[in-house]
Structures are given as C-alpha cells and as structure tokens.
Amino acid sequence: MYFPSRIRAFAAGAALLAASAIAQAQQLPNVVILATGGTIAGAGASAANSATYAAAKVPVDKLIAGLPEISKVANVKGEQTFQIASESFTNDNLLVLARRVSALAKQSDVDGIVVTHGTDTLEETAYFLNLVVRTDKPIVVVGSMRPGTALSADGALNLFDAVNVAASKDAKGKGVLVTMNDEIQSGRDVAKAINIKTEAFKSQWGPLGMIVEGKNYWFRAPVKRHTTQSEFNIDEITALPQVDIAYGYGNVPASTVETIGKGAKAIIHAGTGNGSVADRVVPALQKLRADGVQVIRSSRVNTGGFVLRNAEQPDDKYDWVVAHDLNPQKARILAMVALSKPLSTADLQRVFWEY
C-alpha cells in the first residue's frame, strides 16, 4: 500500500525528472534532417544484400526513430523533402532543396542542417549547396553505401556523425560538409571513388577531419570561396542553364561533342590526363565556342585530376576555360551556377580559380 507521503514523493521525483529532461533538451542544439532518399533510406530482401536493394524506401521518421542515440546530441526534426534515388536528381530538385536549406538556415531556432542523400550524385548536391547557400551554420550531407537492412550497414553511424557535426560549434563556417566512413570531407573536394565499399568517398586533398565516438577532430580547413563568401545566392537563382558533359576516350568522334553541345550554354569536356582534347574534336569545340557555348576543359582522372591552363590546348587563343581541380560533374555544377549570371570567359575562369 502506498501512503500519501510516498505518493507525493514519487510525483515530485517524476516531475523533477521531467523538468530535467526538458532543461536538457533546451540546452541541446536544434538540427533539422532533410531526407531525399538514396541507399541510406534503402532496404534489401535479406541481411546478406549489401549491393542489391531498393533505394529510397524508408521515411525520415523511421530513420530518426531507429537511432535513439542522436537525442543525446541534438533536438532533431525530420522533413521528407524527396524520396528518390540520387541518379534521378534533377536541376529542379537541386533548386528546391537549396531553397529549403537556405530558409532553415535563416531560422534562429535551427543550429544545423543534415541532408540525407543517395551517394551517386551526393558530391554534386553538396557542392551546389556549398556555392549557393549563404550561411555559416553547419550543413552536412550524408549517405550510406549499404542499406539499413544489410549486415554491417553503415548508414546509422554515418547519420549519427552527420547530426553530431551539424550540432557542433566547431563545424561553423567550414562550408558544406560530407560525413562518410568516420571522415569529415569538404563538399567541394570529395568524390565517390568506388561503388562497393564503405570507404567510397575520397578527396585528393584529404579529409578535413575525423569523427571518433562523437568527437570531431579537425586537421585542415577549406580555402576556396563558399557559402557566406560566395557571390552566388540561391535566393537570386530562378533557373539553371543547360550544361552538358562530353567524355574523352580513344577513337572518340567529333560528333559526340557536336550532339551534346546542342542547346547548351556550356560544355564540360572530360578529357584524358591534363584535360587533353583529341585533334579531331578540337574543331568541333571551336565551332561551339564561336556559336556562344562556353567550353570548359576538365579531366576524367578519377582522383587527382588537375587541368593547367594553356598546357594541353591554347586556351587563351580558343577562349576556353579550364576546370582547375574540379572533376567533370562538379565543373558542371559550378558552370551552371556561374552562368546563371551574365559572365565573360575571363570572369568564368576567375570563378573556377576561386571556387
């Protein structure tokens, strides 16, 4: 039998615990997770399926519910922005996502933002956000190489790390970040280098830091212009121009460039080595430039591409641009953003040096 004094003590204790929980929640940072689909929201037929699965199946509320540990790191809310595999991402998807990230970043009650994303085009979205969202609040893009149903699934830890980084004051002002495989990568530098391992994302310049048991360890900071230092703003971009990629390879015909360049405002030539262009393709690119299409030389080298101006081609003579160290897909992102404004070739080249 409970006596009145014991009942009062029990009620007081419960109230104290509830008040303590509320106080703790009020002290934690507020992080919003924008879910877009991908493998991190995927499901396989069995636990043995790590590479064969259906992407974009698990809604964001279930992702959050399956990771109760994040409640100790931040007050987390989720929004289902899209539910698609990232190879199907469009320019319109990029614009919608960036506008939502920008709007959240302006809210005083949001301290950080996480975007869950399929890995196939994750690097492109991360770089796009890095260019157009004007905030110093942490924005972290995260995915996984295995669905949550697989043995040794990597999504849960990747997401925990992403929330941890987004909630951290030491991540402020470092641009858009990517957390995969315990590493903190720059959204500008990182690229998917392999499609079957959990350590799939690499940067030729190395990670910015590591996450170990919820603690961030930083080793370098990005020096290229981004976010608050960017001259581009998602609030001013209504549409993205058509920019296409032409791939260089042995025996490549000029018709490849001619076909891809139709209707484009710029064409990224993913050349071999130092952005080399086959002799039979040069006239086709010259014609495109004469017709007003910007020609940007990039390299198809997986990690370590670096294109020097006037090295393989007389870029000054042809009025071409070089992509610096950006891979073709990121060069396309930067060209679209840059050419949303009226820029000369010289200004476009400046943008590629600075961003």
What is d(CA 43, CA 56) in angstroms, rounded to the nearest whole number?
Answer: 8
Q: Which pLDDT band holds residue 305 (cuts at 50, 70, 90)?
A: confident
**Strand pairing category for 30-37 and 112-116:** parallel
Query: Which residue from 250, 241, 293 is spatially nearest to 272, judged by alpha carbons?
Result: 250
pLDDT exceeds 80 at position 26: no
Per-residue pLDDT of 107-119, as tens digits, reads 999 999 999 999 9
Residues of the chain with pLDDT > 70, as a percent, come to 93
Average pLDDT, the chain: 93
Residues annotated as catalytic are 39, 119
The pLDDT of residue 21 is 46
pLDDT exceeds 80 at position 1: no
Comparing 122 with 24, which gets the higher pLDDT?
Answer: 122
**Domains annotated on the chain, with CATH:** 26-229 (3.40.50.1170), 242-354 (3.40.50.40)
What is d(CA 353, CA 325) in angstroms, rounded to the nearest whole number?
Answer: 9
The pLDDT of residue 2 is 52
pLDDT exceeds 60 at position 344: yes
Q: Which pLDDT band holds residue 355 (cuts at 50, 70, 90)?
A: very high
What is d(CA 262, CA 326) in angstroms, rounded to the nearest whole number?
Answer: 23
Half-sphere exposure of 14 (CA within 13 A, CB side): 6
Per-residue pLDDT of 232-287, as tens digits, reads 999 999 999 999 999 999 999 999 999 888 899 999 999 999 999 999 999 999 99
Per the rule left: phi > 0, alpha: psi between -120 and 50, beta: everything else, 165 is alpha
Q: Hey, CA dihedral for 81, 326, 159, 117, is it positive or negative?
A: positive
The pLDDT of residue 125 is 98
Per-residue pLDDT of 143-158, as tens digits, reads 999 999 999 999 999 9
